[in-house]
Structure 1
Amino acid sequence: MAKYDITGIGINLREVPDDNSNVKLKVLGIILDGPAYSAGVRQGDELLSVNGVDVRGKSAFDVSSLLQGPQETFVVIKVKHGNCGPIQSMKIERQLVARSPIFYRLEKLESGDISVGYIRIKEFNALAKKDLVIALKRLKDAGASYFILDLKDNPGGLVQAGIEVAKLFLNKGEMVIHTVGRDPEVQKSIVAENAPFIASPLIVLVNHRTASASEIVTTALHDNCKAVLVGERTFGKGLIQSVYELHDGSGVVVTVGKYVTPNHKDINGNGVEPDFRRIPALNEVVSYLAQCHIEGKS
């Protein structure tokens, strides 16, 4: 089942019908700075072959199995960039070890009196929370008055990692996300259990490629009046899917529920609209968050 979710080169595949009702495989998600991304694969590319085997018409489950392999071995793939772009063949080394998705720096504002801690999260993997805590502590100790959390082009990753990241900024008892579906086991409300690690004003940068776990973090911080959103409307991916392996080795993906924000807004297909198109001044951020609290986190 894990083979369907993510390959040894860092992509998720999706079956898409073409004009003749044949199935082609598109890159639905990609890990930034992963092996495929570094080789030149991009979201929306079509996968044509793996090690010389034509994969058009094959299932995403089967092709993900072809892409898997021992760490530091190579796989040769052929992709078509976009719908009408060039076809490229590339040799990619499989890498199964998670890399830190966190990049951070301290920036002095022009006035020189205030510093901002900038943190970029490329994806939500197993290292996201641990490395974010380190970045936040170092930036705070260095004098950061507030923080910019950059989630632009972040396709998501591990949902649980996103939930744990969101909890770092929330008060005990505040809602992270609701999950809804027909099965009572899917119906959950996830809340923060502890005091926030950081309570400074927060700006979250988003764009049309901010998706899935990134949108969970975005809405948790926004709906609880912890952050202002800056940029573009997010992608809008909020489905909960389970993968079931069948007796013949094939698999079926079933949508069993969806994510709903703390303010009970449906993420899927809608995305999240930002509060500002450009980064606001600190006094604007403070004023906006104060007004949010007054209006009851609406």
Structure 2
Amino acid sequence: MRVVLCNSASPLTPIPKPPTFPATLNWPHKTLVGALTGAVSFSLLISSPSSIALDSASVPPSPSSHSSATDYCRQDDDTEAMPETAPELVTNEAIVEEAWNIVNDSFLDSSRRRWSSDIWKQKKEDILGTSIQTRSKAHDIIRRMLASLGDPYTRFLSPAEFSKMARYDMTGIGINIREVQDDNGGVKLKVLGLILDGPAHAAGVRQGDEILSVNGMDVTGKSAFEASSLLQGPNETFVTLEVKHGNCGPVQSIEVQRQLVARTPVFYRLEKIENGAASVGYMRLKEFNALARKDLVIAMKRLQDMGAKYFILDLRDNLGGLVQAGIEIAKLFLNEGETVTYTVGRDPQYEKTITAETAPLITAPLIVLVNNKTASASEIVSAALHDNCRAVLVGQRTFGKGLIQSVFELHDGSGVVVTIGKYVTPNHMDINKNGIEPDFREFPAWSEVTQHLAQCNTLRQG
């Protein structure tokens, strides 16, 4: 089984499944990639439509201070090539039961109308009471079973649909990265998958490699999201990776030519107001991709240098993207310790409070422009800045998309996407299906903005 978190409109990156399994399945322990701690699991960029390289072919050793002949190491299971087990060894009934168990353990009924444990147990008895003759029939049963939940985001994925998910790439060099905990409780970055004959694979990067540095910058302690952002750059430019092959292999410096790139989603300009006595830094953010935070920081610093005293962040028609990018952008405006968002779910591992860790990049008065196409990650940012009295919202009520999905691989290569949680604003408002009401419908005077923010902070402190 593989599982990965995502937001409701995003492509997904799967995690390698176990190498073997019995003909009759017991519900395995879930492996969770932390969507809110930087795992590359959200709206990723589409890479070339080719197959995934899952081999761990050896690479000629190169000298490095990171390894020596006397080092003792233990090869991790997930760094080796994982043999596939023939799908026919899994019974049709076991596949249906596996899907049933995933829903039973993790599904969050956002409508709170259709799902109950008693009804769900009865459904299992009805389904598994008879023999399921074909794999196609098993998949049809899973589809109907999930449709009965009444959740538009919980759905079945055929093996072909599931395999496509591993082809998403936000690095620009054809690899997917995930965070793996080591034996000492630390985190290291591992190559989850490669695009066969993609830039990284052709240069010598292999499945299971640990990424140590990017262009000489140590990535120890960095999230997969941060490392992927460092790998991004203009098309046909080069990036140098230092990788450790497997858990026990040599360290090698590899130069890779970028072939895919995220376009900057940030547009900015300086505008004069009040007879030219003050300047406003206008920033439009079209989507939350791997470049969003980095390019927004550049825009804000340049606008500050140009004399901006007020700022506008335009999130109209921004349907979301990488949720982690939205969280990191919200932190740019918040004080240390202030809440960005809460996540809630049936499983305690999905209960999180996300807070800012540093001082804000700017403290100037801020307007966030929103409309009915401001959704998902855009709503997380809008709510975080609004509820912490950092910005006023201007425009229309936002879309109202705040659910979290996981995608689980079943043991025959198919998968299920299941709603397992939702986002809640710092003021404990459920975003999903509600949206966020703006403070002003029409553009206010900046004096109104500063007065509104001052009153908000007074009430908050009182």
TM-score by length of 1: 0.71
**Residue of structure 2 equivalent to 1:8:** 46
Q: Which SS does the other structure have where 2:408 is aligned?
A: strand
**2:374 counterpart of 1:219:** no
**Residue of structure 2 equivalent to 1:125:** 289
**2:144 counterpart of 1:106:** no
* Offset from partner CA, 1:53-106 (integer Å, 9 cap, x none): xxxx9969729939x6999xxxxxxxxxxxxxxxxxxxxxxx942111111000
**Residue of structure 1 equivalent to 2:443:** 279
Greater C-alpha radius of gyration: 2
Q: Which has the higher contact order (CA 8 A, sep 6+)?
A: 2
**CA distance, structure 1, for counterparts of residue 424 and residue 348 of structure 2:** 15
Letter of the structure 2 residue corresponding to residue 8 of structure 1: I
Q: Which SS does the other structure have where 2:317 is aligned?
A: coil
Q: List aligned pairs for 1:140-155, cutoff 5 A.
A: 140-155=304-319
Identity of aligned residues (%): 67
Of 358, 366, 382, 1:202 maps to: 366
* Offset from partner CA, 1:175-234 (integer Å, 9 cap, x none): 100111111111111111111010000000001111111100000000000000001110
Contact 1:224 1:297 in 2 (8 A): no
Contact 1:61 1:251 in 2 (8 A): no
Q: Which SS does the other structure have where 1:124 is aligned?
A: coil
More helix by share: 2
**Residue of structure 1 equivalent to 2:164:** 65
Cα RMSD, aligned residues only: 3.0
Of 246, 256, 273, 2:410 maps to: 246
**CA distance, structure 2, for counterparts of residue 218 and residue 98 of structure 1:** 23
* Offset from partner CA, 1:132-178 (integer Å, 9 cap, x none): 11000000110101100000011111111100000000011111001
**Residue of structure 1 equivalent to 2:221:** none
Letter of the structure 1 residue corresponding to residue 279 of structure 2: S
More strand by share: 1
**CA distance, structure 1, for counterparts of residue 340 and residue 424 of structure 2:** 10
Quickly say closer, same or farther: Cα 1:249–1:7, change in 2 above 3 A. Answer: farther
**CA distance, structure 1, for counterparts of residue 454 and residue 159 of structure 2:** 47
**CA distance, structure 2, for counterparts of residue 120 and residue 223 of structure 1:** 21
**CA distance, structure 1, for counterparts of residue 295 and residue 369 of structure 2:** 19
**CA distance, structure 2, for counterparts of residue 283 and residue 69 of structure 1:** 46
Instruction: List runs of 5+ in structure 2 lacking aligned partners.
Output: 1-11, 15-41, 48-146, 173-258
* Offset from partner CA, 1:26-69 (integer Å, 9 cap, x none): xx9xxxxxxxxxxxxxxxxxxxxxxxxxxxx9969729939x69
Contact 2:366 2:392 in 1 (8 A): yes
Contact 1:246 1:252 in 2 (8 A): yes
**2:400 counterpart of 1:236:** yes
Quickly say closer, same or farther: Cα 1:59–1:235, change in 2 above 3 A. Answer: farther
**CA distance, structure 1, for counterparts of residue 353 and residue 387 of structure 2:** 14
Q: List aligned pairs for 1:147-166, cutoff 5 A.
A: 147-166=311-330
**CA distance, structure 2, for counterparts of residue 64 and residue 111 of structure 1:** 58
Letter of the structure 2 residue corresponding to residue 289 of structure 1: L
**CA distance, structure 1, for counterparts of residue 397 and residue 461 of structure 2:** 20
- Tell me how many residue pairs correspond in the alignment: 232
Report deviation, 1:125: 1.0
Q: Which SS does the other structure have where 1:185 is aligned?
A: helix
**CA distance, structure 2, for counterparts of residue 251 and residue 58 of structure 1:** 5
Contact 1:121 1:150 in 2 (8 A): yes
Q: Which SS does the other structure have where 1:296 is aligned?
A: helix
Quickly say closer, same or farther: Cα 1:5–1:105, change in 2 above 3 A. Answer: closer
Letter of the structure 2 residue corresponding to residue 113 of structure 1: A
Q: Which SS does the other structure have where 2:407 is aligned?
A: strand
**CA distance, structure 1, for counterparts of residue 305 and residue 461 of structure 2:** 30
**Residue of structure 1 equivalent to 2:459:** 295
**CA distance, structure 1, for counterparts of residue 286 and residue 410 of structure 2:** 34
Contact 1:116 1:144 in 2 (8 A): yes
Of 234, 242, 259, 2:423 maps to: 259
* Offset from partner CA, 1:103-147 (integer Å, 9 cap, x none): 100011251101100000111111111111100000011010110
Quickly say closer, same or farther: Cα 1:58–1:130, change in 2 above 3 A. Answer: closer
